[in-house]
């Protein structure tokens, strides 16, 4: 099939594009390169530099005729979204409305959307399944939830079938090092730990060690980015097979603490990764773990690579390579 991957030059987008290419689809990436990287564009895909705020540009591209769109273009720093909601309102909300309208006008049937565990907010029980109440604790999560609601209406009114994939903590890199772009100014834990291992930063700040968790640091559900990417191809297959929209969690199924992550990284990299404990980060829950049972039932998806060892070692290979190239 012909797939348009919007935001396909970013960290997750590049892995998603790679997965569709590997599955034999033809891929066009549309990305404004604001955080996406030229380095993440593959030789066997078409690339169009463009912005989701450019409705005419979107229509022009979509009229080439695509079977499905994957939409990953968004700002994603939860903390920043609380300080600059207007940036998230315009790009994440208005940009997605442009995509929806352009897709409906171009007769595109299927849309796969990168939603987020941030739609749930503070957990009321664990693991979180899709029946868990949605109550975002930050503006970023609110934009993802509102977009899911738009999709519900466009499904009913325009016949656009969607898969909303609620990512938990994406981490790791392609196992064959085909994606090599490093995230710039990362805010997420593993890239920060990797930067410390490479000597690109002094140490890692551990945001609180007094949570109600076994070692006091925050526990999260890390899902290997290739597992996430496989979730997108599985979602498309499911949309085509069933003709019904779906909303599912994608998580690795293991709760890993910040200190456990640092410890694994020390062992795997052989580097003495320094850390210091600082204040808790506002809005951080103690623990988030996912039930991905619905994804298994509906799409036959399960995480294959989301063990700590694979996540950390696949990241380290890419960071080490990039360090060697820089030297
Ligand atoms: C993980 C853990 C931090 C950085 C975010 C989004 C969420 C999502 C996944 C995408 C927490 C701790 C972090 C650091 C630290 N999905 N930490 N020092 O906040 O769980 O989730 O990505 O949409 O919506 O909010 O991820 O990687 O920032 O944090 O101690 O320098 O690491 O407190 O316990 P988070 P994260």
Do 58 and 205 have their domain in common? no
Instruction: List the catalytic residue out of 88, 110, 120, 140.
Output: 140
* Residue 130 contacts residue 119 (beta carbons within 8 Å): no
Nearest to 204 by CA among 140, 271, 289: 271
Do 195 and 236 have their domain in common? no
Kindly report the CATH number assigned to the domain that includes residue 193: 3.90.25.10
14-56 per-position pLDDT tens digit: 999 999 999 999 999 999 999 999 999 999 999 999 999 999 9
CB of 287 closer than 6 angstroms to any ligand 1 atom: no
CB of 169 closer than 6 angstroms to any ligand 1 atom: yes
pLDDT-derived band at 326 (thresholds 50, 70, 90) equals confident
Do 228 and 139 have their domain in common? yes
Tokens coding 36: 């996406």
Max Cα-Cα span within the chain: 56
Query: Is 0.95 surpassed by the pTM of this model?
Result: yes
Do 141 and 289 have their domain in common? no
Name the residue with the closest Cα to ligand 1, atom 22: 169
Q: Is there a domain that residue 184 lies in?
A: no
Do 152 and 281 have their domain in common? no
237-252 per-position pLDDT tens digit: 999 999 999 999 999 9
Ligand 1 centroid–CA 190 distance in Å is 9
Ligand 1, residues 168, 188, 221: which to mutate, most atoms within 8 A of Cβ?
188
95-153 per-position pLDDT tens digit: 999 999 999 999 999 999 999 999 999 999 999 999 999 999 999 999 999 999 999 99
Q: What was the pLDDT predicted at 327?
A: 81
Q: What was the pLDDT predicted at 178?
A: 97
Ligand 1 centroid–CA 67 distance in Å is 34
Do 135 and 158 have their domain in common? yes
207-225 per-position pLDDT tens digit: 999 999 999 999 999 999 9
Nearest to 274 by CA among 199, 216, 222: 199
Q: What was the pLDDT predicted at 72?
A: 98
Tokens coding 32: 């404004």
Q: What was the pLDDT predicted at 308?
A: 97
Sorted by sequence, the CB contacts under 8 Å of residue 152 that are 6+ apart come out as 245
271-280 per-position pLDDT tens digit: 999 999 999 9
Q: What was the pLDDT predicted at 238?
A: 98
The two beta strands, 255-257 and 169-171, are unpaired
CB of 216 closer than 6 angstroms to any ligand 1 atom: no
Kindly report the CATH number assigned to the domain that includes residue 117: 3.40.50.720
For 166, the 3-state DSSP assignment is: strand
Question: 162 catalytic, yes or no?
Answer: no
CB of 209 closer than 6 angstroms to any ligand 1 atom: no
CB of 189 closer than 6 angstroms to any ligand 1 atom: yes
Do 94 and 196 have their domain in common? no
Do 304 and 318 have their domain in common? yes
Task: Tell me how many domains the chain contains.
Answer: 2
Ligand 1 centroid–CA 298 distance in Å is 28
CA 246/CA 238 separation, integer angstroms: 9
Q: Which residue's entry shows tokens 């790009």?
A: 91
Residue 169 in this model has a pLDDT that exceeds 90: yes
Could you tell me the end-to-end alpha-carbon distance of the chain, in angstroms, rounded to an integer?
Answer: 42
Stretch (H or E) spanning 62:
helix 55-62
Q: Is there a domain that residue 148 lies in?
A: yes
* Residue 168 contacts residue 223 (beta carbons within 8 Å): yes
Q: What was the pLDDT predicted at 79?
A: 86
Mean local confidence (pLDDT), 182-200: 95
Q: What was the pLDDT predicted at 324?
A: 86
53-79 per-position pLDDT tens digit: 999 999 999 999 999 999 999 999 888
For 283, the 3-state DSSP assignment is: coil
Q: Is there a domain that residue 28 lies in?
A: yes
Ligand 1 centroid–CA 187 distance in Å is 7
Name the residue with the closest Cα to ligand 1, atom 36: 188
Which of residues 230, 250, 270 is at a domain's end?
250
Ligand 1 centroid–CA 167 distance in Å is 12
Ligand 1, residues 78, 171, 228, 262: which to mutate, most atoms within 8 A of Cβ?
78
The two beta strands, 219-224 and 110-116, are unpaired
Q: Give the nearest ligand 1 atom to 144 CA.
A: 23
Mean local confidence (pLDDT), 290-310: 98
Q: Which domain holds residue 241?
A: 2-170+222-250
């Amino acid at each position: 099939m012909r797939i348009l991957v919007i935001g396909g030059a970013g960290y997750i987008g590049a892995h998603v594009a790679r997965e569709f290419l590997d599955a034999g689809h033809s891929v066009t990436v549309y990305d404004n390169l604001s955080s996406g990287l030229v380095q993440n564009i593959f030789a066997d895909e078409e690339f169009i530099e463009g912005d989701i705020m450019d409705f005419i540009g979107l229509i022009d591209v979509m009229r080439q005729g695509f079977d499905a769109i994957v939409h990953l273009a968004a700002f994603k720093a939860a903390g920043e979204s609380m300080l600059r909601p207007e940036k998230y309102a315009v790009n994440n909300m208005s940009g997605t409305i442009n995509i929806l309208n352009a897709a409906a006008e171009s007769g595109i049937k299927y849309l796969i959307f990168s939603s987020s565990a941030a739609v749930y907010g503070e957990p009321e029980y664990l693991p979180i399944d899709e029946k868990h109440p949605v109550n975002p604790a930050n503006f970023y999560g609110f934009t993802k939830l509102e977009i899911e609601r738009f999709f519900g209406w466009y499904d009913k009114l325009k016949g656009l079938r969607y898969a909303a994939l609620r990512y938990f903590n994406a981490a790791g890199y392609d196992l064959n090092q085909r994606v090599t772009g490093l995230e710039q100014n990362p805010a997420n834990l593993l890239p920060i730990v990797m930067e410390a291992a490479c000597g690109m930063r002094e140490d890692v700040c551990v945001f609180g060690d007094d949570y109600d968790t076994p070692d006091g640091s925050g526990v999260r559900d890390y899902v290997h980015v290739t597992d996430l990417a496989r979730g997108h191809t599985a979602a498309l297959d499911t949309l085509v097979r069933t003709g019904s929209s779906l909303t599912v969690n994608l998580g690795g199924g293991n709760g890993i603490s910040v200190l456990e992550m640092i410890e694994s990284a020390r062992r795997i990299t052989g580097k003495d990764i320094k850390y210091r404990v600082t204040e808790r980060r506002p809005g951080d829950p103690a623990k988030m773990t996912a039930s991905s049972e619905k994804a298994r039932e509906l799409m036959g998806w399960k995480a294959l690579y989301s063990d700590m060892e694979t996540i950390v070692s696949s990241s380290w290979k890419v960071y080490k390579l990039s360090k060697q190239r820089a030297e």
